[in-house]
Amino acid sequence: MHRKLLGIGAVFVLLMTTVTIVGEGVSAAVPPSASGSVSCKITGTGKFGPKLTANGLTGNTGVKFKFLGASPTSGGCTSTAGVPNSAGFLTPVTINTVIVKGVGFLTGPANANACANFTSFDATGSITVKFTWGAVPAIAPTFITYSAGGPVVSGSPTDQITLPSGATMTATGSFSTPGTGTVSLLTNIVSACSATWGPYPTFTFGTGSNIVLP
C-alpha cells in the first residue's frame, strides 16, 4: 500500500511539472493594428519639471513634460476604423474610450520655464505619447514620438499645448500613418504673463482638449 501511494504521488508531481512547463510556453495573442481614423475628447492632468514661474531659472533650457488624460466613458470618441480579416477586408472596430499618456521634454531659450519663454518660444524636444484604446474588437495601442518641433503653446486666455506643431513624427501600432496624429491640450495655464504668474508645477486640461489620428 505504501509503495502504491508513493507511485501515485510521483505521477502527480510529474503531471504538475509538465503543466507548468507548457504554461510558461504559452504567450498571449497580440491585438491587430487598426487603420482608419479616430477622434476623442480628453481631460486630465500634467506636470512640469522644473515648475513654470514668472521669471524661470537662469540658464535653464529645458522643461520636463508629462501628462495623462482619458476620454469620457460614453460618447467621447468617434471613428471609422477597421482591422484586416482573413478574407482580405476590414472588420469594423468600435472605439469607445482612449487613455493618452505622454512623457518627454520641451526645449527653449535660457529660462525656458519662464512665462514669456514658455508661452512664446518653447518647442518640442522629444515627447512620446501612448494611446491605449478601449475597442471592440481589441486593437493594438498607438505610439507616436514627436521630436524637434516648433513652439507648442498658443491661445488665450489660457494656453493650449499642441503636438505636433511642426515636429517630426514617428508612429507604430494602430493608426500609425507616418507624419500624422494631433494632441491638443487646452490647459488652465494663464496666457498673460505678470510678476505674479504661476507657479505651475502641474496643470489640468479639459473641455476643448482632444486627440485626432491619423
| The pLDDT value given to residue 1 | 46
pLDDT at 78 over 70: yes
Q: What local confidence, expressed as pLDDT, does residue 14 receive?
A: 36
Domain presence at residue 41: yes
**pTM for the whole thing?**
0.85
**Is residue 14, in this structure, part of any structural domain at all?**
no
Mean pLDDT over the full length of the chain: 89
Q: What is the pLDDT of residues 147-181, one digit of tens each?
A: 999 999 999 999 999 999 999 999 999 999 888 89
In a domain, 121, yes or no: yes
Q: How high is the pLDDT of residue 31?
A: 92
pLDDT over threshold 50, residue 93: yes
Grid cell of 8 as nine digits: 501515485
pLDDT 10s digits, 97-126: 999 999 999 999 999 999 999 999 999 999
Neighbours of 28 (CB within 10 A): 5
Please measure the distance between the N-terminal and C-terminal CA atoms of the chain and give it in whole angstroms.
71
Whether residue 84 is preceded by a cis peptide bond, meaning omega within 30 degrees of 0, is no
Number of domains in the chain: 1
Residue 196 placed within a domain: yes
How confident is the model over 138-149, as pLDDT tens digits? 999 999 999 999
* Rounded Cα gap, residues 149 and 168, in angstroms: 7
In a domain, 22, yes or no: no
For the cut 80, the answer to whether the pLDDT of residue 76 exceeds it is yes
Query: Does residue 16 carry a pLDDT above 50?
Result: no
Does residue 18 lie in a domain region? no
Task: Decide if 27 is inside a domain.
Answer: no
pLDDT at residue 137 greater than cutoff 70: yes
Range of the domain at 149: 32-213
pLDDT of 19 higher than 50: no
Phi, psi of 68 (to 5 degrees): -140, 125
pLDDT tens digits, 65-75:
999 999 999 89
How far is Cα 86 from Cα 100, in angstroms, rounded to an integer? 30
